Amino acid sequence: MVIARRGFVTRLAAVAGALAVAPVAVASADNCGEEMTAYAPARQNIVETAVQAGSFNTLVAAVKEAGLVDALSGDGPLTVFAPTDEAFAKLGEDTIKTVLADKELLTKILTYHVVSGRVTSGDVVKLQTAPTLQGQDVRISTMGGVRINDSMVVTADIETSNGIIHVIDAVLLPA
C-alpha cells in the first residue's frame, strides 16, 4: 500500500508482526535496568512477528480487515507501536466492533501507530514527538518510563526484518 504524506510517498510496510522465536529476557540502559523481552533473530517481518507472538490477535485482525497486511510486510523500515490484545480490550467490545466495521477509521487508527524508519528505544527517548504515517504526530515522554501519548511502552526494540516493534499498553487514537 502506498500512502502519500507531506509530499513524500511512503510505503506502509510493517505494522503487526509475528514473534516466531523464543523470547529471552534482557536488561539495558535504555530500559533503566527493568527486564524487557527481546526476540531474535529478526527474520520475520512485522506482521509475521505479531502473529507468532500470540498477544496481538486483535491488532492482526484489524490489519487484515484494513487490508494492510501486504503493506506492513514490505521492505520498510517502519517502527510500530503495537497495542496488545489487553490494550484493545480496554476500548470495549462494542468500540472494537464499530472500528472494525469502518475501514477508513480503522486505517486511520492503525497508521497512527506507525512511524516511518527504524526508531529504536535509544532514539525514542531523545524525541518529544514523532510523525506517524496517518499524518499526525504522537507525543513522546520519558517521565516514569517511555510513554507514547497516554500509553506506556512495555517492551521495546523487538527487531523484525522490516523494522522495529515497541509494545504498548493502550491503543493510540488520533485527534
Render pLDDT for 118-128 as a digit per residue (tens, 0 to 9). Answer: 999 999 889 99
Mean pLDDT of the chain: 80
User: Closest Cα partner for 167 from 103, 97, 86?
Assistant: 86
**How is the chain split into domains, by residue range?**
2-168
Position with higher pLDDT, 19 vs 98: 98
- Cβ burial of 76 (10 Å; 0-12, 13-18, 19+) is buried
Q: Which residues are paired to 173 by β-bridges?
A: none
Question: Would you state the pLDDT for residue 44?
Answer: 94
| Separation of alpha carbons 101 and 10, rounded Å | 26
Question: Would you state the pLDDT for residue 43?
Answer: 84
Asked if residue 59 lies in contact with residue 168, where contact means CB atoms within 8 angstroms, the answer is: no
Question: Would you state the pLDDT for residue 42?
Answer: 54
The pair phi, psi for residue 138, each rounded to 5°, is -95, 150
Question: Would you state the pLDDT for residue 20?
Answer: 29
Q: Which three cell numbers stand for residue 100?
A: 472494525
Tally DSSP H helices, then E strands, for the chain. Answer: 7, 11
21 pLDDT more than 80 = no
DSSP helix/strand/coil, 82: strand
150 pLDDT more than 60 = yes
131 pLDDT more than 90 = yes
Q: Which three cell numbers stand for residue 171?
A: 491503543
143 pLDDT more than 60 = yes
Place of cell 516514569: 144
Question: Would you state the pLDDT for residue 103?
Answer: 95
16 pLDDT more than 60 = no
Question: Would you state the pLDDT for residue 124?
Answer: 86
Q: 37-81, pLDDT tens digit by residue? A: 444 445 899 999 999 999 999 999 999 999 999 999 998 899 999
- Tell the CATH topology of 2-168: FAS1 domain (2.30.180)
pTM of the model: 0.76
